[in-house]
């Protein structure tokens, strides 16, 4: 395990009030299969609704993901779509087939002395189903999904400003945990401390951990008890999980 010392941490202690988690493939592993099934349904919806072949639908999805961050973002920008039908169709998946209760995750979340929120490009209804399947639904104070974000998705900076308004929090008071570095960069630019799960260090990433359970030990190392609340000990730098 190695350490780096980002300039932000070197400047001194920081107070945290919130930790914000992405949902899919952050709270559970990529190989669970849930997002692969949702992705299959997204392609099917695009194919059927726009009259495309499977190959054309996949190509359009890749283009939208690259330019807009999500397939829905591209559909809203470039097509006439029934958003409610799309969201209902793509999330019509038996979540419990892919996700099981995770007591270790619940224990890790319980160890974090911060207010907890979910921040997802999916619907809050889908998020709550996943959280219930994991056995951690009661650990989160807020679930912020695509409708709560006015159908604006990560990584659009407006989404992060909307999140902070809903949390009634400052960016510098938040730790943001994600499985995609591209979705961490806007938060980092606004002042959030960023944690990438199952990835490699790159622009916009303060810390990298291999598994979400390592977020608990990381935050424990970062937080210290002080007269002004929970703070980073001066000089403590970034951690690369592994």
CA 183 to chain centre: 8
Give the per-residue pLDDT at 223: 85
For 185, the token pair is 């960069």
Closest CA to 24 of 118, 137, 90, 104: 118
Q: What is the pLDDT along the chain (242 residues), one digit of tens a residue?
A: 333 334 444 334 457 999 999 999 999 999 999 999 999 999 999 999 999 999 999 999 999 999 999 999 999 999 999 999 999 999 999 999 999 999 999 999 999 999 999 999 999 999 999 999 999 999 999 999 999 999 999 999 999 999 999 999 999 999 999 999 999 999 999 999 999 999 999 999 999 999 999 999 999 888 864 322 333 333 333 444 32
> How do the domains of the chain map onto residue ranges?
2-30+100-240, 34-95
Q: Are domains 2-30+100-240 and 34-95 of this chain identical in fold?
A: no
- The CATH number given to 2-30+100-240 is 3.40.50.1000
Give the per-residue pLDDT at 224: 66
Which of these CATH numbers, 3.30.450.40, 1.10.150.450, 3.10.580.10, 2.60.120.10, describes 34-95? 1.10.150.450
DSSP 3-state assignment of 224? strand
Closest CA to 174 of 29, 161, 138, 24: 161
Please state the three-class secondary structure of 120-175 as a single string: CCCCHHHHHHHHHHHCCHHHCCEEECCCCCCCCCCCCHHHHHHHHHHHCCCHHHEE
Question: What is the pTM (predicted TM-score) of this model?
Answer: 0.86
Give the per-residue pLDDT at 8: 43
Closest CA to 220 of 211, 230, 212: 230
Give the per-residue pLDDT at 205: 96
């Amino acid at each position: 395990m190695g350490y780096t010392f980002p300039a932000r941490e070197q400047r001194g202690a920081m107070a945290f009030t919130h930790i914000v988690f992405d949902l899919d493939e952050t709270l559970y592993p990529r190989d669970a299969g849930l997002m692969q099934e949702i992705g299959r349904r997204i392609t099917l919806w695009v194919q059927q609704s726009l009259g495309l072949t499977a190959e054309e639908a996949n190509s359009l999805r890749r283009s939208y993901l690259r330019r807009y961050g999500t397939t829905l973002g591209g559909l809203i920008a470039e097509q006439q779509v029934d958003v409610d039908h799309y969201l209902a169709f793509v999330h019509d998946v038996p979540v419990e087939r892919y996700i099981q209760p995770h007591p270790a995750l619940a224990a890790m979340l319980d160890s974090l002395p911060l207010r907890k929120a979910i921040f997802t490009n999916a619907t809050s209804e889908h998020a709550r189903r996943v959280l219930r399947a994991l056995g951690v639904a009661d650990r989160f104070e807020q679930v912020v999904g695509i409708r709560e974000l006015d159908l604006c998705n990560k990584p659009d900076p407006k989404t992060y400003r909307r999140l902070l308004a809903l949390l009634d929090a400052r960016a510098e008071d938040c730790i943001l945990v994600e499985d995609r570095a591209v979705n961490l960069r806007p938060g980092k630019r606004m002042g959030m401390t960023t944690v990438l799960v199952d990835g490699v260090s790159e622009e916009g990433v303060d810390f990298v951990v291999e598994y979400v359970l390592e977020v608990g030990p990381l935050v424990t190392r970062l937080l210290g008890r002080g007269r002004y609340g929970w703070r980073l000990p001066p000089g403590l730098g970034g951690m690369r999980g592994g």
